[in-house]
Structure 1
């Protein structure tokens, strides 16, 4: 075995990435609401890190579209327009339909995976935990894209920043977690029965209700 395995350096997640993950989680959960200004010094003190990784993390979130920069003010959490949210969901629907129609795995296997995410969503509803619901709802829909085996499709889907839009949608449409939850089982059931066309119809009903 000697000489076969080369020494590999496993890098730990950088401070910048850790700070970015924390801030993104707070944005998605609503703890940092749209319009909230992100101040480097208070954040660095709260997280007990230097200002450099906080500054870099904020820049990453700005580049990703989660923040906006206001001259002479700084960075703040971006607020999305209703039109932008609607257009984003239209793109998501097209991607997810294309994914279901080009599955590379057994529909029943995908249904089992979606069922697992749905169980976590049910728990989040019982606990009235919006952040957990949005997280597992995102995983639910991501699984459909991943099941296509199309890496580029998944890359485009992830660039849509769907968790952030989800909170906006629930608020704008006046939806509650309890009213959003029942939109998912018909998709799972259709896949369990191997009925792709029916799953697409259930997905369309889901997406129409979220716009």
Structure 2
């Protein structure tokens, strides 16, 4: 029997609850999602596939040290580098969205990042490079198993390159050596200071 009772419609969009229902989720996956909630998982989306990832301490230490070294290089070598952290970049029409470990603008433009950094300790997941291609990010660096893999966007497709196109004078082999030889327990500030001093000696 219809009593004519209806819940009130929300007056403003910001007052509405956002509900997402995932079907076909196993109990194990449910528990993983529960565990991930308190850790603010990073999300990536590609053609209907949604990836949620929580990062380890090792992951965070690596990405933070890379960021600090890169930003030190920018300061010492007068590069117009602006960090945007793990900003979410998305394009509904291209069905692609991602939160990089770190991303940067080089110069005054702010439409999309010039550089995205991804630290990878676990294989699988969605195709991040395809996401970045659809978002037209100029260059993507992956830190995998002790080395950098660089991809530059050329005519709408990524090409693997040996040196950065957006930071052509940066010696990434040197940064890789620093990362490989730095212990997780080591003082990052001391490592960054040593790198800064090495840059100054070359000027």
Higher helix share: 1
Name the larger-Rg structure: 2
Greater RCO (CA < 8 Å, at least 6 residues apart): 1
TM-score, length-scaled by structure 1: 0.24
TM-score (norm 2): 0.25
Higher strand share: 2
